[in-house]
Amino acid sequence: MPDFLAKLGVEHPIVLAPMAGGTGTPQLVAAVSNAGGLGSWGGAYSTPQQILDAARAIRALTSKPFAINLFAGGYEPERTVDPAPMLALLGDIHRELGLTAPVLPPNPRSPFDDQLAAVIEARPAVFSFTFGLPDADAFARLRRAEIVTCGTATTVEEGKRLAEAGVDSIAAQGEEAGAHRGTFINSFKASMVPMRALTRGLLKETRAPVIASGGIMDGREIAEVLGMGAVAGQLGTAFVACPESGAPQAYKDAILAARSDDTDITRVFSGRPARGLRNRFMAVAREEWILPFGQQNDLTRPMRGEAGKQGKADYLSLWAGRGVAQARSMPAAELVRTLVAEMAATR
Ligand SMILES: Cc1cc2nc3c(=O)[nH]c(=O)nc-3n(C[C@H](O)[C@H](O)[C@H](O)COP(=O)(O)O)c2cc1C
């Protein structure tokens, strides 16, 4: 499978992880693609028009292939959770930040279908997805548009389901990974498989090209997963502190100061388990107060947005993988060049 990326016109086995929510900017995506990696843009929180605009912005900066990523599921039905305790906590934090009182947003429905139509119109080289499995009609439309697909698996069982559905490649998301868990079959707890074991399992039990992700921070680790048979490594946390990343400065500073045991899995920001650096909000928000994914995310958005502006890392979602202690701050193209040199040094 080594020609999977070559067929796409991607020179190096390095994939910039999609990072929805502002961290992954068109500038970051284009910088990685221009440097010979595959840049991915996360469109999960974007409207169809914003997806089209982002694709245009990326194309203005690069003629190289890139990926667009969406959440293919994850939205939950209304639950009978009393919103009062979460609203009370956020009320205190809003006051501290100088914001007006929080308002309970409606529980949103999945925007996936409308977003996918925009992705198909934008025609990126690759469409990657997480949190689920699109239906057969979606795959047929993507195939007709000649868009290569990449589905996220956190277990071998999920990888087999993706392969049966006809995905062109699988992103193996190990438990080390920063941000949301892509899990869509079994419990989140049972799906915390280390990146190396998951990559090996997927390579053994599916025939799809596997892109290993979770905790990969340097070229030596990319060479290691290629040695196992993966076609590439997908790195998120490694790129968060790059100048082209849209992460607030307080988030970049926290990443660069973090130690390897500073991360934990939390649901408090969005309602869905995700790995990030421990901070005050994770300590004070209780599990039983959390609203469904989507609604909880919308409810905490004003807090996160204002905290970013005020440089308060305590109220930001500081998504980071277990490799965070190795994070470096350098322009994305230089990071890609460094990763390539580190890979070469292992030969
Ligand atoms: C800030 C951030 C945002 C992320 N957003 C997305 C996303 O929108 N879609 C997605 O499939 N994965 C997303 N991920 C997860 C990555 O695809 C990948 O699993 C993870 O970054 C790999 O672990 P690492 O961060 O240790 O490199 C995100 C990761 C980070 C760090």
* Ligand 1 binding pocket, CB closer than 6 Å: 17-20, 23, 42, 44, 69, 130, 152, 173, 176-179, 213-216, 234-238, 240, 319, 321, 323
Output the pLDDT for position 2. 55
User: Measured in angstroms, how far is the CA atom of residue 178 from the centroid of ligand 1?
Assistant: 5
| Residue nearest (by alpha carbon) to ligand 1 atom 10 | 18
Residues 256-307 have pLDDT tens digits of: 999 999 999 999 999 999 999 999 999 999 999 999 999 999 999 999 999 9
Residues 116-160 have pLDDT tens digits of: 999 999 999 999 999 999 999 999 999 999 999 999 999 999 999
Q: Give mean pLDDT, residues 317-327.
A: 98
Asked whether the predicted pLDDT for residue 55 surpasses 90, the reply is: yes
Asked whether the predicted pLDDT for residue 21 surpasses 80, the reply is: yes
| Residue nearest (by alpha carbon) to ligand 1 atom 9 | 18
Output the pLDDT for position 78. 80
Q: Give mean pLDDT, residues 84-92.
A: 98
For the chain, the structural domain boundaries read 1-75+110-243+331-347, 80-108+245-325
User: Measured in angstroms, how far is the CA atom of residue 98 from the centroid of ligand 1?
Assistant: 31
The structure tokens listed for 227 are 């040695």
User: Measured in angstroms, how far is the CA atom of residue 341 from the centroid of ligand 1?
Assistant: 24
Angle between helices 112-122 and 48-61 (to 10 degrees): 30
How far, CA to CA in Å, does 162 sit from each of 157, 184, 329?
A: 9, 11, 35
The structure tokens listed for 111 are 């925007």
- With the most atoms of ligand 1 within 8 angstroms of its CB, the residue from 46, 213, 225, 324 to mutate is 213
CB-count burial class (<10 Å; 0-12, 13-18, 19+) for 154: buried
Beta strands in the chain (DSSP E): 14-16, 39-42, 66-71, 126-130, 148-153, 169-173, 179-180, 210-213, 232-235, 263-266, 274-277
Which has the closest alpha carbon to 75: 295, 318, 230? 295
The CATH number of domain 1-75+110-243+331-347, selected from 2.60.120.510, 3.20.20.70, 3.40.50.2300, 2.40.110.10: 3.20.20.70
Output the pLDDT for position 64. 98
User: Measured in angstroms, how far is the CA atom of residue 240 from the centroid of ligand 1?
Assistant: 10
